[in-house]
Amino acid sequence: MSETASRTDADFEAFYERHWKYVYRLCFSYLQNEADAEDVTEDIFVKVLTGDCVFRDLTHERKWLCICAINLCKDRLKRFDRSRVDSLDDDAMPEIAAPEKKDYPEVRDAVMCLPAELKDVILLYYYAGYRTGEIAKLLDRPPSTVRNQLRDARNHLRSMLGGYSQ
């Protein structure tokens, strides 16, 4: 019997409490939309609840959630026309805690305009807090490639933002 089959509601609740903010922030940084970030976050936890996910440790949990979040966010961005206007008014949505870090919309918008491989490393490094070696393993790239992509992404962002640095 797998670990998932023997998982209790309390175990899942503890897992959810441990990771939901991390997953939501990552999804929100990718999708830039609360409703979409909520949907993808929910989809990820449904996958854990209904799947045969067996995690070795806390690090393995976070890495799996990170890769799953990135892939589901990419799928959602492919599926939907991002220029659509949300028809839901603010009162229809429950209040969701925004990312805890100070928000710089011009920087966020510039990051979202980067090519996918550069955006991935920026989001994983700055938003998810992974080191370059960890990002290399997550994305199955050599560490030197990840470092070069971070450098290239920073240069792109610097030129897009007119030399702005914080």
Predicted confidence (pLDDT) per residue in 80-133, tens digit: 644 444 444 444 444 444 445 555 678 878 888 888 889 888 888 887 788 888
| pLDDT at site 80 | 63
Two tokens at 61?
A: 């949990």
pLDDT surpasses 70 at 156:
yes
The number of residues in the chain equals 166
Give the CATH class of 1-81: mainly alpha
Relative orientation angle of helices 143-160 and 105-112, to the nearest 10 degrees:
130
Global pTM reads 0.57
Domain boundaries, the chain: 1-81, 101-166
Domain 101-166 is found in CATH 3.30.450.20:
no
C-beta of residue 69 within 8 angstroms of C-beta of residue 40: yes
Q: pLDDT digit string (tens) for 26-51?
A: 898 888 888 889 999 999 998 888 88
Q: Is 49 exposed, middle or buried (0-12, 13-18, 19+ CB in 10 A)?
A: middle
